[in-house]
Structure 1
């Protein structure tokens, strides 16, 4: 899937798609509650009220840069708390290459945050060692985010993720730690959006009078636009994540801004009562 924001082109590369089996991340999003939001169907949920979600990367091409935003689960990883996320053998890199983006053509890897499903392809296992997948790229991590997980990874799954998908990047000298409002390129500025994780960042794209927002995991699914208080079980600060959702969606609601989520497709945010709805493209 492709979208354009002025001279910037965004391509979605899917690693994993699901329909349903999402209650572990959004427990309040019952089938009955989702069916009360008909604008979600069919693009973001099916007729039964089961959520449609994906784990994907977004390749962002500017006139000067080729950036991959978030890198999914990765292969050969161990210690994940979702059994099917362990020991994966997925053709993601082949899919990426066939789409025209060989790993060595990527010059920047940008992680909105450092959770398991956003950093996995940062590294690949070569000769028993984790090495940077994108050999010609600088890896951009939020400084707040990086330092938090470096210093506070205590659960076994968090330790494993940092050890195999983040620390090897820093050890290779390829990590750039930036402020959460860093200007990455002429067209790309980061927006601090904490709550899901301490240093979570969203990405604002501006080119030729057009605008885009890569929201990351501010919301895992558009149903959270209608229910701002439906915080994910993975949110480090559920109250802050709800505040962040309201602030971010208020900023871009009722504008032509193209919005793409970390786990859902593109659309536009519209105000509806005291909250919002999401209008899918196409």
Structure 2
């Protein structure tokens, strides 16, 4: 009876639950992994309603309280450790999880989310001129202009431009007169649209002008297009949001050393076998050669 009452209470609360707030949807959208998402939100696990297809046996039947799942408790733990916890925990405690759930939780750490690939690229756009005359051709057939290209993580979003500009391009129209010859018919100036910013988000009129290598993020601000590389920036390097690259930490090198960008460290400017005379000669004890006595050389002529 207690389980039924608890179940009905849960259904009533679920039926009147509100939709997912936008800020939580944005957190889910931005998280590159499930671990990152769990660290910013609260996720509830209840043994009665989680993995309902799995048969569960408890020493003491009855409703139990839900538990909060934390990232450190299951994401970084091994599957064998979670199975051990599921078996060793007392059935009457509110934190008991079944074996199936424990194994499912151990897999969450490997779940990664893809990124939007919507960005500006130079693509060939066909010239919109075709009068249907088989004797008339135009040149060029297309122009390379910047366009929004890519896909979005959410199915209801599309890669679209936020701003664009008009470009005037010349087009030559040629008339074929036979025998491999063309006659210049006319030159036309056409207007083409070039995209200057794009993303998967609806930013309204609040659209920034992002530098090359940056895209518009979910907060409608410029962010690095290669943000996935930021997680690999380790050691003596740090991420530069302006350059969108992993750069060395600033270091002041001592004398006779220069900074090596590849090593992110100071290296000697001298070879191992190089000798610096200035360091081994005491210039304060230089002898004045003019004070020394002059030697006379005696020339000896050979006898024949």
Shorter-chain TM-score range? under 0.3
Greater C-alpha radius of gyration: 2
Using CA pairs under 8 Å that are at least 6 residues apart, name the structure with larger relative contact order, 1 or 2.
1
TM-score after normalising by structure 1: 0.21
TM-score after normalising by structure 2: 0.20
